[in-house]
């Protein structure tokens, strides 16, 4: 039996704002109910946050939340292969193989009745090079000099000092950490005053790979300085530093920032 469900009802974070409001159940992965699809789709959010491929969300949503039409529209084989080739290496960093249920040879060769890639994999819509995911994303860095760090601040949309504490348990959230205390915002870029905290909380929830790398040496939490870019409603953390007073370059850059004039 084919049923139509509104995407807003089950609250599938993976497929919010994808251009249609109803999904077909059972879906292409055999999930019988929206609740089952939502639960299973949540495990893909950390990979999606790493931006391993610009069409990864389209591919996954075509399977978890297929648009409600008279017939299924499968992803094209080339779309699956492109996403797999970019994302499988990131999954393998954490011991997860590309799942057999997403085997690409089960999808049709490219034709008009399958979903193909819609973006250029080398550049984003603004003409800049698309971020390339890495197993080392968000690993803590050491500032080589205060001037280099100031230029990093200039190139970033946001720069914020934050404190993380480890949650004792997280039965619902993917995140193992929460924000503690106020944010020390050095640069908020295009975001309004109240938006940055909620966006960082969303980043903690969605980007488990980044947060895991950043806190590897601080399993109970700590204070960090993070920089990154704003992409729609999401924050992408590009660099992270442990906030330590003995890091003279970091302290100097934070102190000089208010008076610093970026080159451009």
- Confidence grade of residue 5 (pLDDT, cut at 50, 70, 90): low
Here the tokens at position 264 are 């451009």
- Tell me how far apart the terminal alpha carbons of the chain are, to the nearest angstrom: 59
Q: What is the DSSP letter of 45?
A: H
> What tens digit of pLDDT does each residue of 6-61 get?
555 467 889 988 888 888 888 999 998 888 999 999 889 888 877 788 899 999 99
Classify residue 257 by its DSSP letter. Answer: G
The answer on pLDDT for 130 being more than 80 is no
The whole-angstrom separation of Cα 49 and Cα 208 is 8
- How sure is the predictor about 1, in pLDDT bands with cuts at 50, 70 and 90? low
Pair of tokens at residue 84? 């797999």
Residue 54 CB neighbour total at 10 angstroms: 21
Question: In this structure, what DSSP letter does residue 131 have?
Answer: P
Q: What is the pLDDT, as a whole number, of residue 157?
A: 94
Domains of the chain: 3-106 (1.10.2000.10), 146-259 (2.40.50)
User: Mean pLDDT, the chain, as a whole number?
Assistant: 84
d(CA 62, CA 72): 9
What does the pLDDT average to over 152-168?
A: 93
Would you state the pLDDT for residue 46?
Answer: 81
Residue 160 pLDDT > 80: yes
Over the stretch 111-120, which tens digit does the pLDDT of each residue have?
Answer: 778 999 876 5
The answer, yes or no, to whether residue 228 has pLDDT greater than 80, is: yes
Question: Quick one: pLDDT at residue 125?
Answer: 39
**Distant-in-sequence, close-in-space partners of 184: CB < 8 Å, separation ≥ 6:** 160, 161, 162
pLDDT of residue 175: 65
Query: What's the pLDDT tens digit per position in 49-103?
Result: 777 888 999 999 999 999 888 888 999 999 999 999 889 888 887 778 999 999 9
Instruction: Find, among 58, 4, 37, 50, the residue nearest to 214 by Cα.
Output: 50
Taking Cα atoms as reference points, which of 12, 27, 11 lies closest to residue 67?
27
Share of the chain above pLDDT 70, in %: 87
Kindly report the pTM of this predicted structure. 0.62
Taking only the tens place, the pLDDT of each residue in 190-213 is: 887 778 999 998 888 778 778 888
């Amino acid at each position: 039996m084919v049923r139509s469900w509104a995407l807003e009802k089950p609250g599938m974070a993976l497929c919010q704002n994808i251009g249609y409001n109803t999904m077909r159940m059972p879906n292409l992965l055999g999930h019988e109910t929206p609740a089952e699809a939502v639960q299973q789709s949540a495990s893909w959010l950390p990979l999606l946050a790493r931006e391993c491929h610009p069409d990864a969300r389209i591919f996954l949503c075509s399977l978890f939340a297929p648009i409600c039409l008279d017939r299924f529209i499968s992803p094209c084989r080339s779309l699956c292969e492109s996403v797999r080739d970019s994302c499988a290496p990131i999954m393998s960093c954490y011991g997860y193989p590309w799942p057999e249920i997403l085997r690409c040879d089960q999808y049709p060769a490219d034709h008009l009745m399958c979903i193909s890639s819609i973006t250029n994999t080398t550049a984003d819509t603004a003409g800049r090079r698309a971020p390339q995911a890495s197993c080392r994303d968000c690993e803590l860095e050491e500032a080589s000099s205060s001037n280099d760090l100031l230029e990093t601040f200039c190139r970033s949309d946001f720069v914020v000092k934050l404190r993380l504490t480890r949650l004792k348990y997280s039965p619902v959230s993917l995140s193992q950490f929460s924000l503690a205390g106020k944010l020390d915002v050095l640069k908020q870029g295009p975001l309004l005053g109240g938006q940055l905290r909620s966006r960082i909380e969303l980043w903690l929830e969605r980007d488990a790979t980044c947060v895991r790398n950043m806190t590897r040496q601080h399993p109970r939490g700590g204070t960090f300085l993070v920089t990154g870019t704003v992409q729609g409603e999401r924050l992408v953390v590009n660099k992270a530093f442990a906030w330590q007073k003995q890091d003279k370059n970091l302290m100097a850059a934070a102190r000089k920032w208010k008076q610093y004039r970026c080159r451009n």
